[in-house]
Amino acid sequence: MIDAITVDQATLDEIAVTLDEYRLIVQKLGRIPNELELGMFGAMWSEHCGYKNSRPLLRLFPTSGPRVLQGPGENAGVVDVGDGLAIVMKVESHNHPSAVEPFQGAATGVGGIIRDIFTMGARPIAILDSLRFGPIDDARSRYLLDGVVAGIAHYGNSIGVPTVGGEVYFAEAYRENPLVNAMAVGVIEAHRIVRARASGVGNLLLLVGADTGRDGIHGCSGLASRELSDTSDDQRPTVQVGNPFLEKLLIEACLELHQTGKIVGMQDLGAAGITSAVVEAASKGGSGVDIDVQKVTRRATGMTPYEVMLSESQERMLVVVQPEHVEAVQAIFDRWGLHADVIGQVTDDGIVRVRDGDRVVAEIPATILAEAPTYRRTGRRPSWLDAPAPVVPADEASLDEALLRVLRFPDVASKLAIFRRYDWSVQTNTLAGPGAADAAVLRLKGTRKAIALSIDGNGRYCYLDPYRGGAISVAEAARNVICAGGEPIAATDCLNFGNPEKPEVYYQLEEAIRGMSEACRMLGTPIVSGNVSLYNESRGTAIYPTPIVGMLGLLEDARYRVCAGFVSEGDRVLLLGDDGGCGLGGSAYLAARGYVVGPAPMLDLDRERRVQRLCLDAIRRGLVRSAHDVSDGGLGVTLAECCLLGGIGFVGAPPDTEDRFRWLFNEGQSRIVVSVRPEDEAALRILANEAGVPCVPLGTVGGDRFVISGWLDVTLESLVDAWGSLADPDGE
């Protein structure tokens, strides 16, 4: 007999279930749930786990392609890269936990995304992160930055997975709601993919790894699926605590087990803990499960079935094993110092049945738990998109001063002070680490191939035009991979938005997804995995809509990788593409002066595709010595960064225009600055003409100054001082 409870509004609020959803639960269940069952519904029907407001929109994404071995729906996406190998990739958010407890929030975000990778049977080989904070001179924003960077460094460095790239932006919109998005990538033999399936009646369920404690209860429903408030600090107990050294053991044990072929399925325990793991495994396997919470090893005394089922303690895995293999599997985990408890078995009735010894304490069909209600809302175009743009006073600074100011702007300034906290060379795969190229490049050992990885997004653009901003996030991520020498072949995404119940926010979400979808189709980069983080707002104010795109590129031959810095004295510098008459709207130049005004930069996806293909073709022919895309700060910053990264100057002639500031600082898309040997310039021009892409000479590499004759003349030393102005996260 299942005991029912009388529900009140406070209980529903605690688990983030509406009254209408509660009535739907009663209807589907055919009875009133008890406390544990209601808690399980709250977790599985939360926005974090159930994707209630985003699932209908996510269907707009292209998710298949000739290289896609596994698209959305599993722990991570899988992409064929040839030579019998596949890349496993995913990006996820840990925004709300990081706002409440930055060190552990960021650390466990890294731990969770790493588990998504090796759950598929892949060895994790790279981490990238995309971070957003409030103004850097704000004390709390600095505290959050320090804690998040320390958490990422602690977990990634300890676990032995390199952090090879990332991005960091600062804006008032993120003051109360920082964004911490972590991307992980792994490599696997293509025929050895493991999926999260609980199939085969009588097969046993093993809970492996850390003991179960009280940390993280209501993390997915009470913290991650509603707005932050003045009482959010009271939710620190819902933030998990990570142990990277234990996870390292778990990685090695699971990968060894994977090689034996003795497992049926594997699922990591993340949001909603045991509940989510068994429900997802059962629903995907078309089966039921019967588990006993008394068989779960605990690190706290007196834990109730509710606490055991909803704990989000880290470093735990659910493994499905045939009975005859249990002892062999447990022996592998024992050798790595990990216990593996048999907590239940697979059944054929489709029911998730939870026992506390002899007493049944929950009994729910897996499909009901796994299929949260979805909402297709009607968005409303925000009024500010149609309001007249404020008049921005003319810049009275000289071009020299304006360039140095933009280079000092925290969004543009070098992030070396942050990147140096991360070990980006462990595992000896990294050919181009943070800052060396527009994308990280990692060798695929045993082959001539390499992969290029980037992670990108621009909240300013999406705030000013969600559709165009979403498309640009895909285009820029692909362009960065191209500039490193890789062919973009697949993407993963993390959608960070405010409260979707507000029509303006829902409009932003829908339009951004539409823009991203069109760009993915045009550029041939299907979305193979991803995450949605909503309710990123407090005191009624939402973050900038911030879709983040992680892009995978393939280099058939690692020798053709390209870095961003100028290489040699005398090389010719050219611009592939043109700005299409783009203005300064949405630019870092205006943001550095305190203005976030539109219109956002224009994007012609056909032109973008032609520019990208031209650049990749030229790189593969050995014509290009360096490549750097034009993005934050415009052409002026791009050229300055090429000088800074190469440690060498540049001398150019001014273009035929009087609008100097617009030419230098507009952020028109589909442009790449390349350098070539003088003898290769003609060949590049021929290729560009055949591709129908403008190829504009800009100047020559050389000297120790950045010069555009008659316009600006800045020493490299001045550029270094301005660009390196972002203080160390530790304040050192």
Catalytic positions are 48, 94
Phi then psi for residue 344, to 5 deg, are: 175, -165
Residue recorded with tokens 């030393």: 717
The CA distance from 145 to 142, in Å, is 5
Contact partners, residue 658, CB within 8 Å, separation at least 6: none
The CA distance from 707 to 710, in Å, is 8
The CA distance from 662 to 248, in Å, is 50
Do the bridges between strand 527-533 and strand 487-496 make them parallel or antiparallel, or are there none, so unpaired?
Answer: parallel
Q: Which residues pair with 668 in a beta bridge?
A: none
Residue 427 identity (one-letter amino acid): Q
Residue 141 identity (one-letter amino acid): S
The CA distance from 53 to 498, in Å, is 12
The CA distance from 518 to 77, in Å, is 20
The CA distance from 316 to 257, in Å, is 15
The CA distance from 206 to 420, in Å, is 39
The CA distance from 463 to 718, in Å, is 33
Residue recorded with tokens 């991803």: 530
Q: Which of 442, 443, 438 is nearest to 454 (CA)?
A: 438
CA distances from 301 to 216, 304, 305, 358 (A): 16, 9, 12, 20
The CA distance from 224 to 213, in Å, is 19
The CA distance from 553 to 191, in Å, is 21
- DSSP annotation of 654 reads P
The CA distance from 713 to 705, in Å, is 7
Do the bridges between strand 487-496 and strand 537-538 make them parallel or antiparallel, or are there none, so unpaired?
Answer: unpaired
Q: Which two tokens mark 659?
A: 């609008």
Angle between helices 605-620 and 503-523 (to 10 degrees): 40
Q: Which two tokens mark 80?
A: 């064929």
| Chain mean position to CA 238 | 22
Q: Which residues pair with 87 in a beta bridge?
A: 79, 187
